[in-house]
């Protein structure tokens, strides 16, 4: 701890260590992504955010970062939540780069294939600059959001493996994200239905139909008959209520 002018300067090292520990901690309890519990998929939690692996990733390393509160739109986040969310995005980028952009994780592809040459200015091994990322938010249904809970897609693009094909504009990943391949909500819904089926079985099928009765054999009842039946049912219901009250149920 240091002092200057009689005031205490906060120990930045301790503060950073606490922040790092919070960002690296596992989930403390059930975590929900929209209506879906995703606790087993969560790999990072922060004060206001969490990150989870994708049920159906478009490419290796495709993950999602979400605010803890189930905000539907990006503009619903408070300033602290927004700051925390994108700090988590940066941390996840660095983690993915360390895993996917290191020489040990990539094949010995030619640098020239990607329009680069090995030189002293080459990015550090395992750094974010050693590859690229797609960072995307589908903010609202019209933009393709399938789970009404803000989520940031982070997709590493590995040079020589999953990088965009060819120079120029356009990238298949965005088309995939808007198609069934990128239907995050649909995949989670399918999983929940599968879980439910394992517990209660398949959806019941209709059956046990009555034998056909000809209209000529059906005779309309009179109003008096129907009123009498209704009175009977009311008396039965009253008896049931009195019996339940008398037994303390």
What are the DSSP calls for 58-112, one per residue? SSTT-EEEEESS--SSGGGS-HHHHHHHHHHHHHHHHHHHHHHSSTTTS----GG
What is the full per-residue pLDDT of the chain (249 aa) written as tens digits?
A: 434 444 433 343 433 444 444 444 457 789 999 999 999 999 999 999 999 999 888 899 999 999 999 999 999 999 999 999 999 999 999 999 989 998 866 554 444 444 444 567 788 888 999 999 999 999 999 999 999 999 999 999 998 888 776 665 566 777 777 677 667 777 787 888 888 777 767 665 665 554 454 555 545 655 454 544 565 665 456 666 665 566 555
**Is the pTM here over 0.85, yes or no?**
no
| Residue 204 zone, left/alpha/beta (φ > 0; ψ -120 to 50; rest) | beta
Q: Which residues are catalytic?
A: 151
Q: Which residues pair with 9 in a beta bridge?
A: 2
């Amino acid at each position: 701890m240091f002092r200057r002018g009689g005031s205490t300067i906060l120990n930045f090292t301790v503060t950073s260590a606490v922040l790092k520990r919070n960002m690296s901690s596992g989930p403390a309890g059930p975590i929900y992504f929209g209506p879906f519990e995703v606790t087993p998929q969560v790999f990072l939690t922060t004060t206001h955010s969490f990150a989870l692996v994708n049920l159906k990733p478009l490419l290796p390393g495709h993950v999602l970062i979400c605010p803890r509160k189930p905000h539907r739109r990006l503009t619903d986040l408070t300033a602290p939540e927004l700051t925390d969310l994108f700090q988590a995005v940066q941390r996840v980028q660095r983690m993915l780069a360390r895993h996917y952009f290191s020489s040990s994780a990539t094949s010995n592809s030619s640098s020239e294939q990607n329009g680069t040459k090995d030189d002293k200015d080459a990015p550090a091994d395992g750094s974010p600059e050693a590859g690229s990322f797609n960072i995307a938010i589908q903010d609202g249904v019209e933009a393709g959001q399938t789970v009404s809970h803000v989520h940031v897609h982070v997709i590493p693009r590995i040079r020589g493996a999953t990088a965009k094909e060819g120079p120029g504009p356009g990238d298949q990943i965005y088309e995939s994200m808007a198609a069934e391949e990128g239907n995050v909500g649909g995949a989670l819904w399918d999983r929940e239905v599968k879980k439910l089926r394992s517990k209660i079985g398949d959806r019941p099928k209709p059956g046990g139909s009555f034998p056909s009765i000809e209209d000529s054999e059906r005779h309309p009842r009179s109003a008096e008959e129907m009123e009498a039946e209704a009175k009977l049912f009311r008396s039965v219901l009253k008896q049931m209520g009195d019996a339940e009250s008398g037994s303390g149920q």
